[in-house]
Structure 1
Amino acid sequence: MRLEGKAALVTAAGQGIGRASALALAAEGAQVWATDLNPRLLDGYEGIDGVRAVQLDVLDKDAIHKVISAMPAVDVLFNCAGYVHSGTVLQATDEEWNFALNLNVRSQYWSIQAAVPRMLRSGGGSVINMASVCSSIKGLPNRFIYGMTKAAVIGLTKSVAADYVADGIRCNAICPGTVDTPSLADRINVNADPEAARKAFIARQPMGRLATAEEIAPLVVYLASDESAFVTGQAYCVDGGITI
């Protein structure tokens, strides 16, 4: 049990990478606060040892502080919530820009700001932020707003890591390639030809397939555990070769 005795907060834990990670953290002994905006997505946690399901709107700063304050400790924070906008700079709108910055970046800033004082009092902790290979690492077509926000997440991650490197608080980012999640399915299904859209997503993966959420979760467990005690400020690509 690599995480026995640790308390972890996971956002967007209702499905996809967030859910797979919450379950993986709990399986390693962590007490997990699995949060999501949609309470229906949290129903599946009932009866799972080590998991407490909590509705949370990460766009509500006060709600974030309330949940974190109610936890007995905060050893691990996994900021998984986010949204993928499509389009180029000429297609972007101010409304999309503002929404993406708020959800993809500001919610992480608020969560970290709420969790770090708890981590300082307990002598350390691990912050894990969801970024993407589509960021400062690699430009992908039709992902202007998304890539901008995920580049900001990597900058945020490195800044937090630098500020607290001597205090036992580590901060790292995960940068997946294309992962087969309900969120991806939603983006595929809005296309006139969903089958062709799915094939296009697969085609950009050099391995010739999409990742599963369960293939991302082990990295979350590693970064949450003491096995990564000497790791901070890093942006880990789990991308099936996109960045080769």
Structure 2
Amino acid sequence: MDMHLKDKVVLVTGAGAGIGAATAKLFVEEGAKVVVADYLGDAAGQVAAELGENARAFTVDVSKAEDCKAMVDFAVAEFGGLDVLVNNAGRGSLGTVETQDEDDWRSIIDVNLTGVYLCSKYAVPALRKRGGGAIVNTASNIAMAMAIKDRAAYVAAKGGVASLTRAMALDFAADNIRVNSVAPGVIWSNYYNKMLTQVADPEAFKAGLRARAPSNSWGEPDDIASAIVWLASDRARFAVGTMLTVDGGASIW
């Protein structure tokens, strides 16, 4: 199916690995021009190099306003405008409200939630200049009527992303800027590869992840990339303020 993304300019944060890298790759395959943005500049550069002439790398800390503004300015300067913003950058750590370190709490909120605000703040004028566009935010299935233990800051941040998505959708619909979110479940990534080296029984750990969903499986980055690209495309023109859940059924389990 043609997603009508040829020559569209797309900015993806958190694109140095995992969901972000898979999303950047799929956009390029659909004919778009992509800025691969990540806190880890070397990772962003490697992904962009693999994607070829229609990709550029940018090092960004999405918790800093000056970085977010510079990133949008870079996309416009390199490719002539901006049509799609994918707010995918994120981080998490263990902790309850009792045990979470305050600095770590602030960092998780700043990257996962404030980063969406800052990137969108500077992207909206650029999108408006093109006559509209799309913003897709990466939330989580825990932003629905569920949560997970020992992830208080992450759960709070992703719940905020889901709510902010709806607010932005209302604020900018008249500008022909569609704002939606995707809600992944367990998606296999380098994070889980590292976890396998830290647990006593790797096979039991993997079985536990699979058991979170009735499909008895976890997702892959490409599963979420496909959802993001659809939401960003004109094929989803009537999707406004939607949270598209892609979690193997975990949220209804």
Name the TM-score class by shorter chain. over 0.9
Tell me the equivalent position of 2:125: 117
CA contact (8 A) 1:175 1:238 kept: yes
Does 2:221 match 1:198?
A: no
Aligned residue-pair number: 244
Does 2:92 match 1:90?
A: no
Query: Pairwise mapping of residues 38-187 of structure 1 onto structure 2 (< 5 A)?
Result: 38-42=40-44, 43-46=46-49, 48-70=52-74, 71=76, 72-187=80-195
CA contact (8 A) 2:16 2:38 kept: yes
TM-score, structure 2 normalization: 0.91
Tell me the equivalent position of 1:33: 35
How much has 1:88 moved relative to structure 2? 2.8
How much has 1:137 moved relative to structure 2? 3.4
What residue ranges of structure 2 are gaps of 5+ in the alignment? none
Give the counterpart letter for 2:60 in structure 1: L
TM-score, structure 1 normalization: 0.94
Give the Cα separation in 1 of the matches to 2:97 and 2:199. Answer: 20
Secondary structure of the residue aligned to 1:23 is helix
**What do residues 37-57 of structure 1 show as CA deviations (whole Å, max 9, x unaligned)?**
112213143152421122222
Label 1:154 to 1:28 Cα distance change in 2 as closer, same or farther (>3 A).
same
How much has 1:119 moved relative to structure 2? 1.3
Give the Cα separation in 2 of the matches to 1:177 and 1:137. Answer: 13
Label 1:195 to 1:86 Cα distance change in 2 as closer, same or farther (>3 A).
farther
For the aligned residue pairs, the C-alpha RMSD in angstroms reads: 1.6
What residue ranges of structure 1 are gaps of 5+ in the alignment? none
How much has 1:188 moved relative to structure 2? 4.5
How much has 1:143 moved relative to structure 2? 2.2
